[in-house]
Amino acid sequence: MSANTDQYLITEEPYYQPQGDEVALYQAAYEERLPVMVKGPTGCGKSRFIEHMAWKLGRPLITVACNEDMTASDLVGRYLLDADGTRWLDGPLTVAARIGAICYLDEVVEARQDTTVVIHPLTDHRRTLPLDKKGEVVTAHPDFQLVISYNPGYQSLMKDLKQSTKQRFSALDFDYAPASLEVGIVTKETGIDEATAGKLVKIGETARNLKGHGLDEGISTRLLVYAAQLIKRGIEPIAACRMTLVRPITDDADIIATLDHAIDAVFG
Q: What is d(CA 170, CA 155) in angstroms, rounded to the nearest whole number?
A: 20
What pLDDT score was predicted for residue 217? Answer: 83
* Domain edges within the chain: 3-173, 179-267
Could you tell me what percentage of the chain is helix, strand and coil, using 3-state DSSP and rounding each to the nearest 5?
A: 45, 15, 35
Is the pLDDT at 180 greater than 90? The verdict is: yes
What pLDDT score was predicted for residue 3? Answer: 53
What pLDDT score was predicted for residue 239? Answer: 98
Mean pLDDT across the chain = 92
Any residues with CB less than 8 A from the CB of 108 and at least 6 apart, and which? 66, 116, 148, 149, 150, 161
What pLDDT score was predicted for residue 155? Answer: 53
> What percent of the chain stands above pLDDT 90?
79
Cα–chain center distance at 257: 30
Q: What is d(CA 236, CA 230) in angstroms, rounded to the nearest whole number?
A: 8
> Is the model more confident about 237 or about 110?
237
Is the pLDDT at 157 greater than 50? The verdict is: no
- Matching CATH number, 3-173, of 3.90.1150.10, 3.40.50.300, 3.30.230.10, 3.30.1370.60: 3.40.50.300
- The one-letter code for the residue type at 7 is Q
> Is the model more confident about 230 or about 165?
230
Q: Is residue 131 classed exposed, middle or buried when 0-12, 13-18 and 19+ CB atoms within 10 A define those classes? A: middle
- Digit-coded pLDDT (tens) for 48-62: 999 999 999 999 999
CA torsion 109-114-116-119 (nearest 10°) is 170
Is the pLDDT at 39 greater than 60? The verdict is: yes
- Digit-coded pLDDT (tens) for 202-261: 999 999 998 878 888 889 999 999 999 999 999 999 999 999 999 999 999 999 999 999
Is the pLDDT at 19 greater than 90? The verdict is: yes
What pLDDT score was predicted for residue 267? Answer: 95
When mean pLDDT is compared across 9-13, 49-53, 170-174, 207-211, the lowest value belongs to: 207-211
